[in-house]
Structure 1
Amino acid sequence: MNILLLTSEFAPAMGGIGTYAREIAAAASRLGAKVTVLAPDYARQTADDDRSLPFEVVRFRGGLHSMRDLPRKIMLARRGVRRAQYNVIHAADWPFFIPVALSRWRTPARVLMTVHGTEINETQMPLKRIAIHGAGVFGPRTEVIANSRFTEMLFRERFAVDPRRISTVNLGVSEFWFGGQRTRREVRLAHRLPDDRLVMITVARITRRKGHHLTLAALLQLPDDLRRRITWLVVGPDGEADYVGELRRSAAQVACDIRFLGPQPNEEIRDLYAASDFFCLTGLPDTTGRVEGFGLVYLEAGAAGLPSVATKVGGVPDAVLADETGILASASVASISDAIAELAADRGLRAILAAGASAHARALSWERCAATTYGLTYAGKRAMAERAIGLTA
């Protein structure tokens, strides 16, 4: 199978869509497909890194998407689909939806478009809707891939598309997250974390919609003796300056060991997972229209053997299975506090949910994601197949 994947986000600018594009391309390559990725160069020299990948990367001049880039992306797509006899043309994110739609007639290939969540709401602006309708983006030959049941539901609400052309294929988790180089004891010694300390970790940009303030308020409601036994590791770059400042000031007044570690490389995050007892990320609904389409970070923590405290927001219930891989709370301080207290107080419960989280992460491999998306043969494990949406037989 010959696949062309077009993305407006890719390494070295690695957000969620960049991770998706890289991992599904690599997985499809491991399953025997020939994959070409069309991606921006970010005005950097990327040739050495690109050569290390198991697929071809064709760079175009540009960075993160702006609407001013649309005419150039249309020309890139037109030229791209004619480079080879592709079986699949895949727009990995919405900036390439219109360019790919306008190039459909140049190729007999299957046309796939992946929706991730937030962009579904963003495309409801009048000018974008007119452009999408005029280009026939979701016309008869387009297959829509949603990354969660929530994202599929949101797309169905916003666009009148034949349901038979819409499917949910959950994201995957890389083998990288299933084992680090350092032991729990080594990492704890390096970070001066006593053996009897309960370590809760959050990995996310510190921004209001990720709900760090809810977690902090939930810690305040814990009994004093339990709260003093907890260390909260906060990993991730800063978001809104006013929000981050207020969060840090509030955290300094709480009788709890709270450590803001800033952004960390994946290798260090993996080691910090090994030193932790459970993961906590308590997102909340965002009035700006941004949504949590899936929640890949919960799977990565699960692969490292961590159960999660999470909120029932967006597509998170596909990443965290209630009472199987973690505790799903409502986006309220009291509910989150109860969930943290329950996990912190019960070692046996943590062990049971950790085993479930690891098994769920194993079931949701990138090979399964690529095989289901592109129709490739996959002979992977069938563990938790009934829960792993899109899992092939």
Structure 2
Amino acid sequence: MPKTLIVTNDFPPRQGGIQQFIHNMAVRQPAGSIVVYASSWRDGAAVAAFDAEQPFPVVRDRSTMLLPTPRVTRRAAEILRAEGCDTVWFGAAAPLGLMAPQLRRAGAGRLLGMTHGHEAAWAQLPAARQLLRRIGEGTDTLTYLGEYTRARIAAAVGPGPAARMAHLPPGVDEKAFHPGSGGAEVRARLGLTDRPVVVCVSRVVPRKGQDTLIEAWPAVLRAHPQAVLLVVGGGPYLPQLHKLARARGVAGSVVFTGPVPWAELAAHHGAGDVFAMPCRTRRGGLDVEGLGIVYLEASATGLPVLAGDSGGAPDAVLEGETGYVVPGGSAGAVAEKLILLLGDEALRRRLGANGRRWVEQAWRWDLLAERLTGLLTGDRAA
């Protein structure tokens, strides 16, 4: 059976969207076909316990950050040969894809690089753009999340590599994220039963737009006085959000959960009537949303979604069918759509049902993992 070596910095138990993306794809590949070479993590006991549970070998580097150095490249080549792998899958094309020529000389017949949001940012910087071109020329296929990231990466890598790019976004576990995911229990625990709830599940950083939700909240409360904004997640921006809620006089109707375990995210999605994350592009386009899988997880849970217009976020929303896209920095536009959605139960049900159906048809992990299998084996039609 063909075997693939995954070379990645992004692998559990370290938490994050890319980590879950790679792991969910890896565990759905054919048995015996995967070997992982990953960086270490600060919690060695958690790493050892996690690795022991995996259905494939996991080789950890001594460093907490894999870079395409000579030492790391040699180690990747050693694992490639020792495990009999004929394909290499870079969990993030930039910068690990710079190892591609050496690994091809070591015996790799195919090399695939996954791209995420940060490669689209690299494409705007002259030096990083040149590195992206080298990565594109050294690999057989670069994947992309959606049209936003494809267009920017394609312009950087050149026509040959651009023609070999393939669409491969992350998926949704529709069995975990569903309308009966446990939202009622979360509502009861937080004292939100019988109150309209707008929920945002995300890392708490400026790009995600939780501050715009708070800025919009006074207008929402004038139309729906019992409404609650439920902010789920942790991050460095959390203290500023608490201050902003107090400054805008809405602290009593904004609930912050802080970080929650990964296993409870679906239930927290389900605690809302509407999902909203009005993400915005920052730093001249260098801080941008790659896709926004949380919108699709909310859709799978049966919620209408409100997204910001940053980067590839609109790719995760069918405008007017599963939700709406608004300017991420516009509190007025956010308030207008939230007031509409909270005031129209039939609309919420229709958009939520459409979203659930869309996820089942196009965003399930098993469908996307099958597509990846085809890319790893050279069968792009899979």
TM-score range, shorter-chain basis? 0.7 to 0.9
- SS class of match (1:81): helix
- Equivalent residue number for residue 88 of structure 1: 87
Matching of residues 253-332 of structure 1 within 5 Å: 253-254=249-250, 257-287=253-283, 289-331=286-328, 332=330
Q: CA deviation at 1:213?
A: 1.6
Matching of residues 96-135 of structure 1 within 5 Å: 96-122=96-122, 125=125, 128-129=128-129
Give the helix-richer structure, 1 or 2.
2
- SS class of match (1:375): helix
Aligned length: 371
Separation of aligned partners in 2, 1:294 and 1:101:
29
Q: CA deviation at 1:246?
A: 4.0
- Equivalent residue number for residue 237 of structure 1: 234
Separation of aligned partners in 1, 2:320 and 2:57:
42
Counterpart code for 1:177 = A
- Equivalent residue number for residue 55 of structure 2: 54
- Equivalent residue number for residue 172 of structure 1: 171
Separation of aligned partners in 2, 1:89 and 1:334:
47
| Aligned 8 A contact 1:238 1:244 in 2 | no
Deviations 1:262-296 (A, max 9, x none): 01012332222222211110001111502111111
- Equivalent residue number for residue 190 of structure 2: 191
Deviations 1:98-142 (A, max 9, x none): 123331122242110111022332365555455566xx4222652
Question: Percent identity between the aligned chains?
Answer: 28
- SS class of match (2:114): strand
Which ranges of structure 1 fall in alignment gaps of 5 or more residues? 378-390
| Aligned 8 A contact 1:206 1:237 in 2 | yes
Separation of aligned partners in 2, 1:311 and 1:218:
14
Q: CA deviation at 1:165?
A: 0.9
Deviations 1:307-363 (A, max 9, x none): 211112211122122112111112222221111111111101110111111122222
Q: Greater shift after overlay, 344-353 or 299-308?
A: 299-308
Separation of aligned partners in 2, 1:38 and 1:48:
16
Separation of aligned partners in 2, 1:143 and 1:392:
14
Counterpart code for 1:164 = A
| Aligned 8 A contact 1:177 1:301 in 2 | no
- Equivalent residue number for residue 346 of structure 2: 348
Deviations 1:38-88 (A, max 9, x none): 1112151323322222332221112145x5x73332222222321233342
Separation of aligned partners in 1, 2:143 and 2:124:
18
Which ranges of structure 2 fall in alignment gaps of 5 or more residues? none
**Could you tell me the TM-score, scaled by structure 2's length?**
0.88
